[in-house]
Chains A and B, each alone.
Chain A
Amino acid sequence: MEILATIWFVLIVVLWIGYMFLDGFDLGVGMMMPFLSRSERGRRVLLNSIGPVWDGNEVWLITAAGAMFAAFPHWYASLFSALYIPLTLCLLGLIFRAVSIEYRGKGHTQAWKSFWTWAMAVGSAVTAFCIGAMLAMTTTGLPLNGHGDIVGGPFAWVSWPALLGGLGGIGFTLVHGLVFLGLKTQGEIRARAQRWAARAMLPAAIPFVIWFALSVTHRTWLIVPVLIGLITLITAFFAVRAGAEKRAFVLHGIYLLTGLGSVFAGAYPNVLPSTLDAANSLTVATASSSDYTLTVMLIVTVVILPVIIGYQIFSYRMFLGRIAETHIPEAHKVPVAIRS
């Protein structure tokens, strides 16, 4: 029982890391929409750098939530109901982010464009904050009673770890988006993204690094992956400065992997600790589904996940080239085909 549940715990952590790595840069690009370029064409470069892939990336979030529901219903129920307010905000952020990508180019007034530009930026930032805060709190804990419900009202989750995770979420995705833009665009936007990434990378990582380092208090040996993560981050910083964009992007991902990996390894076997009483904490054993359900889901996942990764790679390879302002076609104004 413990083994199956532990495998599922690892898989769910992988799904969350996958989400942060993939949709992370979409959120970062979204946040940069109003700032990195002031020209309409430049903004469309940003939008189209993630245009074909963001939707597939977002599914990692849906899958992580769905897998939590299937494999750890108590974890899903306790965490999501405890974070009712921030998750409502997160959903609003995700709604505005998604709709702005599709609708921004479909109107032609200045007001329309700037509304959706800001909707995308704010929606992305709110999403990054809430997801970061949620991941921090599921490892540092919430004031849960014996039934697994939060006590202390709608804002009982407000805490230092929440702030750390939230700001860290914004910081990570912002830099990740800039590094991605360095990799994916051409010309002035590429140069600026690189400059900004180099400037922001280390300060933006401070909240996450503190949170990652806290895992050492649970298991001393985690100092090893945490230090590896830190070294990777610094190497990524030098790679950005040297203009080695691909290396920087991969290293920034490894930093995330080691960091989040350490945090969840530190929390294990807790999936959601209670800050009131350790006896109330949800663990892989107490929160999980039956062996039968876990087995069925594991078989499906083991078969299908490589296929998914395969066609997502195919999709990325199709849109491998860099995008420059000169690649963006003239905006198409919808004509009127009727006289009256």
Chain B
Amino acid sequence: MELDPVLIGRWQFGITTVYHFWMVPLTLGLGMLVAILQTIYHRTGNEVYLRSTKFFGKLFLINFIMGVATGLVQEFQFGMAWSEYSRFVGDVFGAPLALEALLAFFLESTFIGLWVFGWGRLHRAVHLGALWCAVIGSWISAYFIIVANSWMQHPVGVELVDGRPVMTDVWAVLGNNTAIAAYTHTLFGALAVGGSFLLGISWYHLYHRRKDGIDTVGADGKVIVGSTPELPGRDATDHTVWIKSLRIGAIVGIIAFAGVSITGDVQAKLMFEQQPMKMASAEAACHDGTEFSVLTIADPASNDCDGVQNIFEIPGLLSFLANGDFDTPVHGVTTLLPEYQEHYGTHIPDDPRYGEHAGEPIDYQPIMIVTYWGFRMMIGFGALAAGVCAIGLWLSRKGTVPQSKWLSRGFVLAITAPFIANSAGWIFTEMGRQPFVVAPNPAQLDGVFMYTQAALSPEVTPAMLLFSLISLTLVYGVLMVVELRLLTTYVKGGVASAMPDLAAPKSKPTITDDGDDVLSFAY
């Protein structure tokens, strides 16, 4: 069997990157929320917020390390598997990666260590500042990596010299409108993840407090908070921790959805202009029109426009999404194809660097089923997450949650919704960019674009790519199970899992002969 190295390489990159981006939004979103919780504690001295900081901080760290470990792969694999790509774009694409390391990763990694080990050791304000530095570091890193990605979607700030793009304007690269839209969109997407995480876990604990008979409800439906000393940490304050966290999570989730909607709209309007084929493909819009497809079916095996059937469409909506009015037709795939062929050619150049793909006809149309459903899953699961937040806010209005096992399971399961939305959005935008690894900028026909087929390392064989694909997928799979089990264990332990004192009150730290205290935290 003949294996296409480009295809294996893309699977390898896709799997490792989507996996990495399960950890990242939780790091970005939950990190910000933990920093806010600790700030409230710092300002009010209210123990509720100390507990929520410690508890969610612990979960944050269990996830954070996986983001660090899988992020290393990202920094290396451009050069390893995509050396032609790296050579082609290095002058402009390497800079944001190096800036990310210099300006973000050092900050994040150094201060996270200070925060973890700094409880009771650093001055309170310095300790809080350390967390903020780490969180801001992670947010800066998101900016630079999205600048890099956005340059692949919409190259700016370069000119072609000897066949390679050379950076001429770093501010254009950093201020790329594609990057600003994608960055804000990603951050709100991450906050949605953080919000749903707080909501689902707090719901679970409030439900179990009721199930275990700790909290009850009065005749008016209002909560009567109880306390059960034999269960670790199950005092009255514990209830406040969960109800406050639930409400903060739900409100953040709703605000985040408003944020992703607005930034997503900006992004879509840019994309209609910058990558019209991607958007046409996302809408399964074969022909010019104004209608937004709510449901379109097609023969999944073929990727051509003949088999597409639009079942239900809303007239005018697509034009509104693209242009802000209801009657300007949006170009469909059949209109765009000849334009692409005219500007970028009909066949891959007969150049040895394209290997077996040299001279092949170019298919400018992304895989429609992926873009169409990726786009809809992103929106659908994003909306679902926000809907769950709104319902959660309403159902918990009397101070606790209904004593329903299925509702509790549902809210825990709903934590996955914004994760799915995030993954679907990225899969849509990356698959929708094909057949380009660097999509052309239609505003300047300067020859700055690259086909994915040309990007792979020439001497890297399918077997090597498979070795990496299989070994990393296996390790990632095992680590996923380990991470989820650890998260589950710590969630079930409640706040006491992050605060030993709650589990075994008044355990005195031993003082050694030389007067050194026992570390307040140790691995």
Residue among B113, B167, B211, B461 with max Cβ neighbours from chain A (10 Å): B113
Contacts of B205 in A (CB 8 A): 337
The CA of A95 and the CA of B234, in the complex, are separated in Å by 37
Contacts of A296 in B (CB 8 A): 95, 167, 170
A102: nearest chain-B partner, CB-CB: B65
The CA of A308 and the CA of B104, in the complex, are separated in Å by 10
Interface size for chain A: under 10, 10 to 19, 20 to 34, or 35 or more residues? 35 or more
Query: With an 8 A cutoff between CB atoms, is B270 at the interface?
Result: no
* A315 and B114 within 8 A (CB): yes
* B65 and A99 within 8 A (CB): yes
Least CB distance from B411 to A in Å reads 15
A63: nearest chain-B partner, CB-CB: B101
Q: Which residues of B in the span 125-140 have a Cβ within 8 Å of any Cβ on A? A: none
Least CB distance from B97 to A in Å reads 4
* B475 and A315 within 8 A (CB): no
Contacts of B517 in A (CB 8 A): 327
B494: nearest chain-A partner, CB-CB: A337
**CB-CB under 8 A for A77 and B86, given A66-B75, A300-B102, A324-B516:** yes
**CB-CB under 8 A for A52 and B114, given A69-B98, A328-B519:** yes
Query: With an 8 A cutoff between CB atoms, is A218 at the interface?
Result: no
Contacts of A318 in B (CB 8 A): 114, 117-118, 121-122
* B109 and A304 within 8 A (CB): no
Q: Which residues of B in the span 81-107 have a Cβ within 8 Å of any Cβ on A? A: 81, 83-84, 86-87, 89-95, 97-103, 105-107
Query: With an 8 A cutoff between CB atoms, is A81 at the interface?
Result: yes
The CA of A19 and the CA of B369, in the complex, are separated in Å by 46
Query: With an 8 A cutoff between CB atoms, is B518 at the interface?
Result: yes
The CA of A107 and the CA of B512, in the complex, are separated in Å by 27
The CA of A95 and the CA of B83, in the complex, are separated in Å by 23
B97: nearest chain-A partner, CB-CB: A66
The CA of A53 and the CA of B503, in the complex, are separated in Å by 29
Query: With an 8 A cutoff between CB atoms, is B467 at the interface?
Result: yes
Which of A69, A98, A334 is B90 in contact with, Cβ under 8 Å? A69
Q: Which residues of A in the span 71-87 have a Cβ within 8 Å of any Cβ on B? A: 71-74, 76-85, 87
Interface size for chain B: under 10, 10 to 19, 20 to 34, or 35 or more residues? 35 or more
Contacts of A66 in B (CB 8 A): 75, 94, 97-98, 100-102
* A63 and B211 within 8 A (CB): no
The CA of A307 and the CA of B205, in the complex, are separated in Å by 43
Least CB distance from B454 to A in Å reads 13
* B493 and A335 within 8 A (CB): yes
Query: With an 8 A cutoff between CB atoms, is B445 at the interface?
Result: no
Contacts of B341 in A (CB 8 A): none
Least CB distance from B243 to A in Å reads 16
Query: With an 8 A cutoff between CB atoms, is A39 at the interface?
Result: no
* Interface membership of chain B positions 167-195, coded 1 if the CB is closer than 8 angstroms to chain A and 0 otherwise: 11010000000000000000000000000
* A69 and B86 within 8 A (CB): yes
Contacts of B301 in A (CB 8 A): none
Query: With an 8 A cutoff between CB atoms, is A188 at the interface?
Result: no
Least CB distance from A296 to B in Å reads 5
Stretch at the interface among A164-172, A235-243, A286-294: A286-294
* A332 and B503 within 8 A (CB): yes
Least CB distance from B342 to A in Å reads 31
**CB-CB under 8 A for A91 and B72, given A52-B113, A58-B109, A327-B518:** yes
Contacts of A77 in B (CB 8 A): 79, 83-84, 86-87, 90, 457
Which of B66, B475, B486 is A92 in contact with, Cβ under 8 Å? B475
Query: With an 8 A cutoff between CB atoms, is B413 at the interface?
Result: no
Query: With an 8 A cutoff between CB atoms, is A339 at the interface?
Result: yes
Q: Which residues of A in the span 243-296 have a Cβ within 8 Å of any Cβ on B? A: 289-290, 292-293, 296
The CA of A66 and the CA of B66, in the complex, are separated in Å by 20
Query: With an 8 A cutoff between CB atoms, is A312 at the interface?
Result: yes
* B102 and A301 within 8 A (CB): yes
Contacts of A319 in B (CB 8 A): 117
* A337 and B166 within 8 A (CB): no
Residue among B110, B468, B523 with max Cβ neighbours from chain A (10 Å): B523
The CA of A154 and the CA of B232, in the complex, are separated in Å by 56
Q: Which residues of A in the span 138-167 have a Cβ within 8 Å of any Cβ on B? A: 147-151, 153-154
Least CB distance from B437 to A in Å reads 14
The CA of A223 and the CA of B486, in the complex, are separated in Å by 54
Contacts of A105 in B (CB 8 A): 522-523
Contacts of A53 in B (CB 8 A): 110, 113
* Interface membership of chain A positions 185-197, coded 1 if the CB is closer than 8 angstroms to chain B and 0 otherwise: 0000000000000
The CA of A106 and the CA of B488, in the complex, are separated in Å by 12
The CA of A115 and the CA of B216, in the complex, are separated in Å by 44
The CA of A56 and the CA of B167, in the complex, are separated in Å by 30
Query: With an 8 A cutoff between CB atoms, is B224 at the interface?
Result: no
* B482 and A103 within 8 A (CB): yes
A322: nearest chain-B partner, CB-CB: B516
Which of A55, A67, A94, A293 is B92 in contact with, Cβ under 8 Å? A293
* B86 and A73 within 8 A (CB): yes
* B212 and A338 within 8 A (CB): yes
30 A–B pairs (Cβ distance < 8 Å), ordered by A = A44-B523, A48-B519, A48-B522, A51-B113, A53-B110, A55-B68, A58-B68, A62-B105, A66-B94, A67-B98, A69-B78, A69-B94, A71-B98, A76-B86, A78-B83, A80-B86, A84-B81, A84-B464, A85-B467, A149-B83, A149-B457, A154-B461, A293-B170, A318-B114, A326-B510, A326-B512, A329-B521, A334-B493, A336-B492, A337-B205
- The chain B residues found within 8 Å of chain A, CB to CB, are 61-62, 64-66, 68-73, 75-76, 78-81, 83-84, 86-87, 89-95, 97-103, 105-107, 109-114, 116-118, 121-122, 161, 166-168, 170, 205, 208, 211-212, 231-234, 457-461, 463-464, 467-468, 471-472, 475, 479, 482, 486, 489-490, 492-497, 500, 503, 507, 509-510, 512, 516-523
Closest 7 CB pairs of A and B: A73-B90, A80-B79, A337-B494, A70-B94, A69-B94, A77-B83, A56-B110
Q: A83-B80, A103-B486, A312-B106 are in contact. List 10 more A-B contacts (CB 8 A).
A: A51-B117, A59-B110, A63-B102, A73-B87, A101-B65, A102-B64, A311-B111, A326-B512, A326-B518, A335-B494
- The chain A residues found within 8 Å of chain B, CB to CB, are 44, 47-48, 51-56, 58-59, 61-63, 65-74, 76-85, 87-88, 91-92, 94-96, 98-99, 101-107, 147-151, 153-154, 289-290, 292-293, 296-297, 300-301, 304-305, 308, 311-312, 315, 318-319, 321, 323-324, 326-330, 332-340
